[in-house]
Structures are given as C-alpha cells and as structure tokens.
Amino acid sequence: MSIVRSEDCQCAGEATIFDLAKSKGVARTQFSVDRLPIHQRYDAWADSIGCIFEVSRSRSMQEPFHASVGALTLGPLMLARTRSTGQYWRRSPWKIARDGLDHYMIQLYLGGTQTCDWGGGSLEMPKGGPLVYDLACAMRATSSAFDNLSLVIPRALLGPLLQFPDAHHMRALPAQAPLVGLLREHLILFDASQNSIDLPQVRDLATSVVHLVAACLNAETEERAIPPEQIASSQLMRARRLIEAGLWDKDLGPTRLAGQLGVSRSRLYEIFSPLGGVKGVIRDRRLAAALTLLTDPATQHLSVRQIADRCLFSPTELSRAFRARYGVSPRTARHYGLADDNGFDPQADSLDRTYERWIRQLSNLFLSPDGLQTEPGQSAHSGAS
C-alpha cells in the first residue's frame, strides 16, 4: 500500500494532477429535492448533504424548503453549485473522524449570507470573495437562502503547494486582491461553461485552478495563528491521517497508533472515546473504502468477496457490518451505485445522488490498496515515463 506524500507531490505534483485529470475526465450530475412532496424534501436533503455536513433548521425558518446541487468534475477536482433555503450547518469532530474527508473547499457566495463560527472566532461570508474551508477542521454556520459555488480540492493536491497547509481554515480571501478576483472569475466561468468543457481541456484546467488557489493562499507569507481549539484537536487529526495511511494494513490497531502518535494507549482511547473507540473508527473507514470500491465503475470487475478481502473483512463480516452501517447489503449498494449514474440510495432512487459518491471517491484517489490509481490498473509510480 502506498500513499501520495507531500514530498512525492513536490517532485511530480503536476504529473500527478495531469494523470488524474486524464483518467477521471469530465462528468456532470444534478441533484434536486424540488420534485419531492414538500414534507419529504428536507429529510432527503439532510440525508444527502450529510456526506459533508450535518444540517438542521429551526421552527422560525418557515419558507418552503428547496435544495439542489449541480456538480461537475474537473479531473481530480469537483465544482458544485448549490442553492437552498436557510439552515444551520456543522462539521463536528465526530463527523470529521467518521467520514475521513481531507479536502479543502473554496466557497463563493453568489447570493445570500452566511455567518460562520469555529475555534478561531466568527465571521461573515465575505462579499465577493471566497471563503476557505479545511474539511479536516470543525466549524458551524448559519445561512440565509443562498446560491453558492464550492470547489473541492483533495489535500494531497493542494497541500504540498502551500507554505502553511494547516493554517487556512475559515480564511476569507479579499475580493479586491487581483489574484482572488481572477479565482472568482475562474469559478464563475467554469460553472457557466460546464457544458462546453471537454476531456482535452481538463488537464490544463485542473492544473491551473489548483495553482491559482495556491497562489491566492500563499499571497500572505506570514503564518496565521492556529486557534487553541484547533491545536487541541491536532492529535485526533494526526491519528485520523495515520489510520488512512495504514488502512490496508492488518496490523493497524491501538498499539501501533499509540506508538506512532507518541501517546499512551489510555490517552489514545480518551481521544477516540467520543467517536466510539479506535477500532470502531478503523472499521468505519474500511467500510467507507468498501462502499467506494463497490460503487466505482473502475472497480466493478472486482467481486464482493475480493472487495471484502481488500478491505480486510471476511465476506460474512463485510455483509453484516455493511448492512449495519448503511442499511443495505454490499450487493444492493453496488447495484444502485453503478446503475445509470444513480446515487447510492435505494430508498430514493429517483434522486441522482452521484455527487455524494464523487466526494467519497476524491478521498480515495490518493489512497487505495494498490497505491494512487492514475488509470485502471496503473499505480502512481508506474504510469509516467
């Protein structure tokens, strides 16, 4: 098993972006609850957007609910345009540890307002400028009815290009800065031109936008202060990354993790206690990897037994744990995940929930049993010559 490390990307960062862009290409999907009966819309939305955020509404939010996500992949990146009514948003430490998303999200509000709170304070969504989320860090927010664009970039692509990769959570980029203005125009242009973007253009677009984001974030050379709450959670964040790095190793467990972190086993258990324990988090991450392998067209040649073996389960263990976690069998998940771009949700198969699978797959582009997959059957270190 291998992962893409910062030092690897520094040597071959552009090649990695190019190869992934070439293999993943352009794809589009549209999710909307607006055709559902009004009383079903919010629950369907909360279940779907739960791939990233925990959401809620108060009784004072009386307007009829609507929500839609139009998503576009640009190679290893995803751009989403989201419209919805007012609601509360949250990424809690529990959510972060459970879903394993390790991406940056660059969000630009085209309409509406949002107030965000995190360990470093609170801020209003900047006027005309993007806001940076580090999805490995906790936050909560309140939004009005809104229309926004969100660019999702895996940390393995953007992090190595940043001077201070862990110091950008909830960073508001000033709209008046020239580079930020250029980034804003890029995002709007990508959304407006998505139907005319084709595969030959993806390589250049994916690379240029990642480097433009890096330039915007590196424009201020001084390291930003990391809030105490974020520092306190650093052990959990590091532990989660160690779990991702060792996910395919059968020896991964509390003893090894404690040694890698330099903490006692009792301290490790304390860190993971609110999340259901170390072994529970490892199991859930392996189940998430199994879900990705089941629903990714690139791995549909693998049998359920082979996927169970890759994810270090017996077939019986996978079936039992998968049903307990997702409410369906692995075979049912595969059927709904691969059928005509339907998202994974057999209870609501009239909704196209493909973007949820894409979010999960971004997490697995740089981490798989066979290393980084640039093209089917090819690892990161075997494709370039």
* pLDDT confidence of residue 199: 64
User: Helix (H, G, I), strand (E, B), or coil: what is residue 64?
Assistant: coil
Domains and CATH numbers, the chain: 2-218 (2.60.120.10), 233-352 (1.10.10.60)
| Beta-carbon-side half-sphere exposure of residue 347 (alpha carbons within 13 Å) | 8
135 phi, psi to nearest 5 deg: -70, 0
- Residue 376: its pLDDT value, please? 26
pLDDT at 242: 86
pTM above 0.75, yes or no: no
Which residue, among 145, 168, 148, has the nearest Cα to 79 in the 3D structure? Answer: 148
Residues of the chain with pLDDT under 50: 1-23, 221, 231-232, 339-349, 366-385
Res 224: pLDDT: 54
What pLDDT does residue 375 have?
A: 30
DSSP string, 225-238: PPPHHHHHTHHHHH
DSSP result, 249-308: -TT-SHHHHHHHHT--HHHHHHHHGGGT-HHHHHHHHHHHHHHHHHH-GGGTTS-HHHHH
In this prediction, residue 191 carries a pLDDT of: 87
Q: For the segment 185-224, what is each residue's pLDDT rounded down to a tens digit?
A: 999 988 888 777 766 677 777 888 999 999 999 986 455 5
Summarised one tens digit per residue, pLDDT across range 274-297 is 777 889 889 988 998 888 888 877
pLDDT at 244: 82
User: For the segment 8-21, what is each residue's pLDDT rounded down to a tens digit?
Assistant: 333 333 333 334 43
* pLDDT score at 288: 83
CA angle 243, 284, 45 (to 5 degrees): 120
Q: Decide: helix, strand or coil at residue 20.
A: helix
* Residue-level pLDDT at 63: 76
pLDDT of residue 307: 94
Could you give the CA distance from residue 348 to residue 355 in angstroms, rounded to a whole number?
15
Cβ burial of 49 (10 Å; 0-12, 13-18, 19+) is buried
Q: Are 156 and 136 in contact (CB under 8 A)?
A: no
